[in-house]
């Protein structure tokens, strides 16, 4: 067996850890973006509701104004009743008063409807504002947690890079460059650079290997590669158990 296989396996373990931590480094800030986007959405909803409330309030105030004007006109007309001389004039005046009263009754109904809408919208606004407050608190907490986790990841990465540096110095140039070259081509799966051979089957690509290959791993000092996928093959039971 190539005497460097345990070291290479150890290197693979370190590289896998580095790879996973770097992936976390990239994905963690994306959680923040999602939360920020949901806050933006709530902010927009809040603005929209406020605009609606403003519009309906204005409409309602206009109706109140119309009611008030009509009331005044009714009062003035009622004062005029005593000065009326003919029945026709009296009849016309009463008709005008009745019209204004009918107008006001419609306006009051419409105004009441708007007030009900306003109540509903104010309730929705209150709910949105509560949601917003909660989401902002959650964002703050998430920011703090992410910052701490990223710091922790950075520390771990520095430690692993040091371990890697020390380890790689123990591996001869030839094996080192074989590993490094494969590492480049298997970047998405650093854990699969070195794979077990089980019942003559490569555990990386699961293709059956010629039986001589299995023996070759034990007998030869050279590294042995899968015929199909070119990964480095090893027998797990021949590797010392001391690898952390």
The DSSP result for 72-138, as a single string, is: HHHHHHHHHGGG--SHHHHHHHHHHHHHHHHHHHHHHHHHHHHHHHHHHHHHHHHHHHHHHHHHHHH
**Whose Cβ is closer to Zn ion: residue 125's or residue 229's?**
229
Min dist CB 226 to Zn ion, Å, is 3
Binding of residue 118 to Zn ion (CB under 5 A)? no
**Whose Cβ is closer to Zn ion: residue 111's or residue 204's?**
204
Total residues contacting Zn ion (rule CB under 5 A)? 6
66 contacts 109 by C-beta, under 8 angstroms? no
Residues 6+ apart with CB under 8 A from 149: 24, 28
**Whose Cβ is closer to Zn ion: residue 25's or residue 216's?**
216
Binding of residue 202 to Zn ion (CB under 5 A)? yes
Q: State both tokens at 147.
A: 């910052």
In the range 210-239, which residues lie near Zn ion by CB under 5 A? 226, 228-229
Binding of residue 189 to Zn ion (CB under 5 A)? no
Closest by CA to 188, choosing from 22, 10, 75, is: 22
Min dist CB 6 to Zn ion, Å, is 20
Contact string 145-184 vs Zn ion (x = CB under 5 A):
----------------------------------------
Considering only the stretches 47-55, 156-164, 167-175, 199-207, report the one whose residues sit in contact with Zn ion under the rule CB under 5 A.
199-207
Using CB under 5 A, which of 205, 216, 235, 239 touches Zn ion?
205
Q: State both tokens at 164.
A: 């890697």
**Whose Cβ is closer to Zn ion: residue 67's or residue 193's?**
193
223 contacts 202 by C-beta, under 8 angstroms? no
Q: Which helix (H) or strand (E) holds 196?
A: strand 194-198
| Residue ranges binding Zn ion (CB under 5 A) | 202, 204-205, 226, 228-229
């Amino acid at each position: 067996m190539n005497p460097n296989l345990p070291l290479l396996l150890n290197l693979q373990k370190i590289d896998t850890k580095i790879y996973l931590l770097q992936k976390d480094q990239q994905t963690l800030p994306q959680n923040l973006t999602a939360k920020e986007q949901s806050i933006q959405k709530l902010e927009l909803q809040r603005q929209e509701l406020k605009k609606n409330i403003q519009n309906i309030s204005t409409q309602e105030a206009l109706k109140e104004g119309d009611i008030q004007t009509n009331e005044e006109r009714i009062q003035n007309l009622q004062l005029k009743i005593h000065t009326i001389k003919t029945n026709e004039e009296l009849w016309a005046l009463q008709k005008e008063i009745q019209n204004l009263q009918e107008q006001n009754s419609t306006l009051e109904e419409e105004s009441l409807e708007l007030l009900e809408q306003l109540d509903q919208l104010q309730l929705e606004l209150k709910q949105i504002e509560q949601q917003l407050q909660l989401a902002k608190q959650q964002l703050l907490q998430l920011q703090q947690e992410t910052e701490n986790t990223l710091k922790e990841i950075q520390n771990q990465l520095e430690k692993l890079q040091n371990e890697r540096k020390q380890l790689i110095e123990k591996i001869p140039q030839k094996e080192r460059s074989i590993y490094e070259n494969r590492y480049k081509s298997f970047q998405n799966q650093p854990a699969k650079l070195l794979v077990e051979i089980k019942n003559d089957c490569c555990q990386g690509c699961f293709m059956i290997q010629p039986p001589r290959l299995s023996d070759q791993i034990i007998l030869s000092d050279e590294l042995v590669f899968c015929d199909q996928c070119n990964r480095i093959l090893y027998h797990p039971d021949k590797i010392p158990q001391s690898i952390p």
